[in-house]
Chain A
Amino acid sequence: SQQGEEDPQALSIQEGENATMNCSYKTSINNLQWYRQNSGRGLVHLILIRSNEREKHSGRLRVTLDTSKKSSSLLITASRAADTASYFCATENKAAGNKLTFGGGTRVLVKP
């Protein structure tokens, strides 16, 4: 199974609402990253959180990391139609030669 697994697989919300998605992983990590992918395009990096950090903010994005539970969450506040995309977590794993391992993603639809 994937090192990083996102939950839920899909999310539909109204513009202005918050969107929360979670990522769970199995092995020790150096860092965890979140990426966004608009339909049919490449991935764009959103935020990186290191294993010794617990929370990080970037604009309307808030990421938390709980290494004891091996999980992370991405919160998008005051969502906009332009936030419609797939969101992926990626873990850099100490056991995997420091490569990034991506989860299956969460598809987010923000309805205007």
Chain B
Amino acid sequence: DVKVTQSSRYLVKRTGEKVFLECVQDMDHENMFWYRQDPGLGLRLIYFSYDVKMKEKGDIPEGYSVSREKKERFSLILESASTNQTSMYLCASSPWGRAGQETQYFGPGTRLLVL
């Protein structure tokens, strides 16, 4: 079974803090994704990556950055957390070289509260 793990299930941070969300997958997938999920808005893509050191902006990249130094790990960074970044963050991975062509496998999510 594909396993996607996220470093924290719940996180509380203060405005202005730098926040790191880590995601690790164990199936040697090329593609990895970060989404945020807010009530009524579904999932919105923040960033994705096709391969190590590759990254592409999604629909809402402002205020976020990412890092993919190893194939299995994709990190989401909030440079200076703000209250409007309070949300559920979901990481996903998929095989193939082109994002989205196959099923995505999701981690359990990190619920982030920014005070």
Residues on A facing B (Cβ under 8 Å): 2, 4, 30-31, 33, 35, 40-45, 48, 88, 90, 92, 97-105
Contact = CB atoms under 8 A, between A and B. Distances in A.
B109 A104 contact: no
A30 B101 contact: yes
Given A98-B98, A102-B42, A104-B41, A41 B105 contact: no
A90 B94 CA distance: 14
B34 interface: no
B74 interface: no
Interface of B: 4, 35, 40-45, 48, 56, 58, 90, 92, 98-109, 111
Contact of A98 (B4, B58, B99): B99
Nearest to B35: A102
Top 3 A-B residue pairs of the complex, sorted by shortest distance between their CB atoms: A42-B106, A102-B43, A104-B42
A35 B33 CA distance: 16
Contacts of A33: 103-104
Given A31-B101, A48-B102, 12 more contacts: A2-B42, A33-B103, A33-B104, A40-B109, A42-B4, A42-B109, A43-B106, A48-B103, A88-B42, A88-B43, A98-B100, A98-B101
A99 B103 contact: no
A105 B107 CA distance: 18
17 contacts: A2-B41, A2-B42, A40-B111, A41-B108, A42-B106, A42-B108, A43-B90, A88-B43, A98-B99, A98-B100, A99-B58, A100-B45, A100-B99, A101-B45, A102-B43, A104-B40, A104-B41
A53 B101 CA distance: 15
Contacts of B100: 92, 98-100
Contacts of A2: 41-42
Nearest to B107: A42
